[in-house]
Structure 1
Amino acid sequence: MEIVEYRPEHAEAFRMLNEAWIAKHFVIEPKDREVLEDPQGKILAKGGRIFMAVRDGRAVGCVAMLKMGDGGYEVAKMTVSEDLRGSGLGKGLMQRCIEEGERLGARRLYLETNSGLAPALALYRSMGFKDLAPAETEYARADVFMERPY
């Protein structure tokens, strides 16, 4: 298993991995479509990053870092194939974001999630994320807001 930089050939896997987990728990929202249909333009061209977890040539996980106006990065679109949940891959993806944020001189990592995603919340808290007060968001499903300052 390796975590690699996103390449254009990962676009379909990035979209499919995210659509699978979102549709399982929630509804795919307009903001999801916007980002998933154009990761190059909506994430990378704006100074963000995307990492893909690859095993035996197959993308099995992903995470994006969206550049924020305050010098931070929003961690978004993080998911792992259903058959690899609980394997530690999510932790590896988040660790890559933490290291990349440090390399980029980020002020903080920020994320929005849902209170019903207990395993994700446990992961985020174990990696130094702290809860924030509720904030405005473009996602109806987001009801938990967290950050990890540097």
Structure 2
Amino acid sequence: MWSIVPYKSTFAKDFYELNIEWLETYFYVEDFDREVLLNPEKYIITPGGHIFFAVENDKVLGTVALMKASGNNFELTKMAVRIDARGKQIGQKLMQYCIDFAKKQNFDSLFLYSNTKLENAIHIYRKYGFIEIPVEPDSPYERSNIKMVLSFS
């Protein structure tokens, strides 16, 4: 059985590889992605963010990050699941874990950027209570055409 664990530097390579594989499969890797993925401690952990991993017998099956934004708001980002582990609801369990974690930490909101071509993902985000809001003109992701938020306050 697998469990969800917090970031360990020994999983940094998995964080990078899982996300690069996902981006290359569905989109392309932007410079911003590569910089964050190569330096997760600098861009996510040190500024107050979190990275979680679904792990089974020291093998990473999936990952997700909560990147600190303005105030007490966090971006739900960098979610990826190994190809051979997909279909086991690992992504949904990672998302629920992040939502529960955000509530316990008294976050104001979680938000995410996505693309409407990922219909299944958008459906899941809505199922968990995320609602669509306008994407700002200076969005950090060129591939993003939808932004969603889940407010706790």
1:66 & 1:134 partners in 2: Cα distance? Answer: 17
Identity %: 35
* Residue of structure 2 in register with 1:143 after alignment: 145
1:88 & 1:27 partners in 2: Cα distance? Answer: 24
Q: CA deviation at 1:16?
A: 0.2
Q: CA deviation at 1:83?
A: 2.0
* Residue of structure 1 in register with 2:92 after alignment: 91
Q: Write the letter of the residue equivalent to 1:49.
A: H
How much is the aligned-residue C-alpha RMSD, in angstroms? 0.9
Q: CA deviation at 1:127?
A: 0.6
1:37 & 1:145 partners in 2: Cα distance? Answer: 24
- Listed one character per residue, the Cα deviations across residues 95-138 of structure 1 (whole Å, up to 9, x for unaligned) are 11111111221110000011111121111111110111222311
2:62 & 2:77 partners in 1: Cα distance? Answer: 12
- Listed one character per residue, the Cα deviations across residues 55-80 of structure 1 (whole Å, up to 9, x for unaligned) are 22210100000111131110000011
Q: TM-score, normalising length from structure 2?
A: 0.95
2:146 & 2:56 partners in 1: Cα distance? Answer: 31
* Residue of structure 2 in register with 1:25 after alignment: 26
3-state secondary structure, aligned to 2:46: helix
* Residue of structure 2 in register with 1:76 after alignment: 77
2:135 & 2:45 partners in 1: Cα distance? Answer: 27
* Residue of structure 1 in register with 2:107 after alignment: 106
Q: CA deviation at 1:147?
A: 0.3
Q: Write the letter of the residue equivalent to 2:134.
A: A
3-state secondary structure, aligned to 2:80: strand
Q: CA deviation at 1:51?
A: 0.1
**Can you give the 5+ residue segments of structure 1 that lack an aligned partner in the other structure?**
none
Q: CA deviation at 1:84?
A: 2.1
Q: Write the letter of the residue equivalent to 2:119.
A: A
Instruction: Give 4+ residue runs of structure 1 displaced > 4 Å after superposition.
Output: none
3-state secondary structure, aligned to 2:139: coil
1:28 & 1:91 partners in 2: Cα distance? Answer: 23
* Residue of structure 2 in register with 1:126 after alignment: 127
* Residue of structure 1 in register with 2:7 after alignment: 6
1:86 & 1:133 partners in 2: Cα distance? Answer: 30
1:37 is the counterpart of 2:38: yes
Query: How many residues were matched structurally?
Result: 150
